[in-house]
Amino acid sequence: MNTKIRLLGILLTTSIFLGNAQEVKSLGTLEFSPEGILFAGDKVSGAIHAFDLSGETRSAKQFEINAYNIDAQVAAVLGTATGNSKINDMAVHPISGEVFISVTRGHGLDAIPALVKVNANSQLQIVDLASEKFTSQALGKLPDGSQNFIIRGTMGPATIKEVEKSKLPMRTLSIMDIQYHNGEVFVAGITNENFCSALRRMSYPLNGKESISNIEMFHIAHDEYETRAPIRSFVIENIDGKDQMVAAYTCSPLVLIPLDELKDGAKVKARTLGDMGNGQPIDLVSFSMQGNDMIFATSNSRTPRVIPLSGLSEAKDYTRDDFERGGKLDMGILPVGPMGKPVMFTGSALHVALLNPMQFATIRRDPETGSMDLETVSIFFPNKLNNVMAEMDFPQYAKEHANDKKK
């Protein structure tokens, strides 16, 4: 990279964060309201920030966003090396249709947060947070940062990465996902209690008040009732005539939680509808295809799944009485329940958001080059034809079918 451009990136990044350094200490999970309010989780300061981006306008009626080597491009605009930056989440602006990405420059709790916009021309721009209007709400009952995870190990001595994982403060799980629904903000994460898996709900505009419910669920793969591991991702849908949270946990049970049960101080038992199999869910995204409402689910360990909402209606609840004792593996009974179907998706699907009614925006890892790409794919075929080589790619095929059309 040109030295002058690199230095300019560093200076630009520094100037952006000085104005609100005390308020915005990290940017993680993102969620837009229909009006263009961007909610961002700040696990370092333990707060939800609401940025008023309602003034964004749409520059083109229809467009795709394809930004290849997005991790390298993000690092470039932040003025750092690719390995020294991290993409945390992305969301699509409901008015402009452009993609917003939360990133960090550096690693650990001291990393510098940034918000990057990828516009309709697939160009990256840093959002000047110091000039944006926003409100914040601090969360209560947060882990204080003194408790870390443990080293579990698997088949041998702990690896370097396992040791690094054990150094993570439990506070890093305080804000896992955010959803806006009918004037309220819902937040999945953990508290500082022993029964620490929690869901928070608060009104918007933010007023400093929050309701905290503790969540218990039966984990089929683990053969345990669990109260600590948090919900990883969730959406809110109307199922069986009432608004319910469809939520995914690590390893990866899918549960239903009625919103009317989420009251301050309540201990809520989620309904376990099934288990997608071992892995860590990343995103659940609601969409419609051919008149059917569905959920697109990505994971760090498996191909994405499409789950029809119709299968969740009046679905069976699974409890410990439904299975023999012991953990469950993918080569055994998993998946269990109405978990839909895996769909073709070349590479590793990381983040996904609905770009428009017909297309997803995805951040994926290319299987051949290892690059991280931001791509637009169809909801009907969430892939790109450059990822597959088939009969239809041969010139003879095109000629044969052209002759068939003439007959």
Q: Could you report the per-residue pLDDT of 181-213, keeping only the tens digit for each? A: 999 999 999 999 999 999 999 999 999 999 999
Element (H, E) at 375: strand 372-378
Return phi, psi of residue 50, to 5°.
Answer: -120, 105
Q: Rounded distance, CA 66 to CA 376, Å?
A: 6
How many Å apart are CA 114 and CA 74, to the nearest integer?
A: 10
Residue 247 scores a pLDDT above 90: yes
* Cα radius of gyration (the chain): 22
**Rounded CA separation 179/292 (Å):** 22
CB 283 within 8 A of CB 300: no
pLDDT at 276 over 70: yes
Residue 403 confidence (pLDDT): 67
Q: For the chain, list the domains and their CATH numbers.
A: 3-406 (2.130.10)
Find the mean pLDDT for residues 371-375.
94
Question: Average model confidence (pLDDT) for the chain?
Answer: 90
Q: Are 71 and 85 in contact (CB under 8 A)?
A: yes
Q: CA 360, CA 376: separation in Å to the nearest integer?
A: 6
155 pLDDT more than 90: no
Q: Which two tokens stand for residue 8?
A: 């300019």
Q: Looking at residue 130, what is its pLDDT?
A: 85
